[in-house]
Amino acid sequence: MIPIKRPDEIKKITRASEIVAEALITLKQVISPGITTKELEQIAEEVIRSRGGIPAFKGYRGYPASICASVNDEVVHGIPSIDVVLREGDLISIDLGVIYQGYIGDAAITVAVGRVSKETERLIKVTEEALYKGIKEARVNKRVGDISYAIQKHVEAHGYSVVRAFVGHGVGKSLHEEPQIPNFGYPGKGPKLKEGMTLAIEPMVNAGSYEVVIMKDGWTAKTADGSLSAHFEHTVLITRNGPEILTKWF
């Protein structure tokens, strides 16, 4: 069963999502050569807790940190570390979830560190565009496959691949709820979308092949071929008037 949220639940998911967005905006402003991913985590925690939120990822299935910070060929779930120092030309994906009064918002952005190559810039741009193509399909009476297909089509039209090993998801009372939202699929397939669903739509896009490998830490996913990877995610509410983005970082 895909949960339909009541208005009071939507209020809390909305507030959680605002805190997510605020933390991501703050991180975007401080990301620069020389900063460590551990420092980014500390800054995020400060924003989250000062707003009455709780980091949603810490302790989730044993995940050890408050954010995921995935650099270059890391796809998702990179663990913040004092040993990971950002350098000019890197790309970093930050994924962040917040619990507010028992309800969750979840979002991710990918950011260029200083000046980056044209290829890196293009990968980031196409991945973000793919997110909005997917969100556009998040409408009453459409289906999950419409979101999946819109994302996949945009990504592959640019010569990139969508990761298969991780998917988007319902979000709200738990971090991961039904339905799963793959970033690949067929229009008209999958569960029907209804008013009051809250969805985390999150394309993960590799410059090379879609295969990933998991590192020895049990979490960090990297591209199998060493190519770059980008990730964008929004928490979206389905309303009768269309999709409403709750994690507005823009």
Give the binding site for ligand MF3 (CB under 6 A): 57, 60-61, 63, 68, 77, 95, 106, 169, 200, 233
CB of 107 or CB of 207, closer to ligand MF3: 107
- CA distances (Å), 49 to each of 43, 101, 104, 120, in order? 10, 12, 14, 33
Helix (H, G, I), strand (E, B) or coil at 71: strand
Q: Which does 216 bind (CB under 5 to 8 A by kind): ligand MF3, Co ion, none?
A: none
Length of the chain: 250
CB of 61 or CB of 216, closer to ligand MF3: 61
**Which residues between 78 and 137 bind Co ion (CB under 5 A)?**
106
Binding mask 40-79 for Co ion (x = CB under 5 A): ----------------------------------------
Nearest approach, Cβ of residue 62 and ligand MF3 (Å): 9
Q: Which does 77 bind (CB under 5 to 8 A by kind): Co ion, ligand MF3, none?
A: ligand MF3
Other C-beta atoms within 10 Å of 205: how many?
Answer: 30
Q: Which does 68 bind (CB under 5 to 8 A by kind): Co ion, ligand MF3, none?
A: ligand MF3
Strands 161-162 and 204-206: antiparallel
Q: Which does 177 bind (CB under 5 to 8 A by kind): ligand MF3, Co ion, none?
A: none
Cβ atoms of 20 and 106 within 8 Å: the answer is yes
HSE-CB for 165 with a 13 A CA cutoff: 16
Q: Which does 131 bind (CB under 5 to 8 A by kind): ligand MF3, Co ion, none?
A: none
Nearest approach, Cβ of residue 202 and Co ion (Å): 5
Other C-beta atoms within 10 Å of 52: how many?
Answer: 12
CB of 146 or CB of 233, closer to ligand MF3: 233
**In DSSP terms, which residues pair with 153 in a beta bridge?**
none
**Which residues between 190 and 219 bind Co ion (CB under 5 A)?**
200
CB of 31 or CB of 221, closer to ligand MF3: 221
Strands (E), 58-167: 67-71, 74-76, 91-100, 103-112, 161-162
Nearest approach, Cβ of residue 34 and ligand MF3 (Å): 26
Nearest approach, Cβ of residue 106 and Co ion (Å): 4
Nearest approach, Cβ of residue 61 and ligand MF3 (Å): 6
Strands (E), the chain: 54-55, 67-71, 74-76, 91-100, 103-112, 161-162, 168-170, 177-181, 198-201, 204-206, 212-214, 221-223, 229-231, 234-239, 242-245
HSE-CB for 41 with a 13 A CA cutoff: 22
Contacting residues toward Co ion, per CB under 5 A: 106, 200
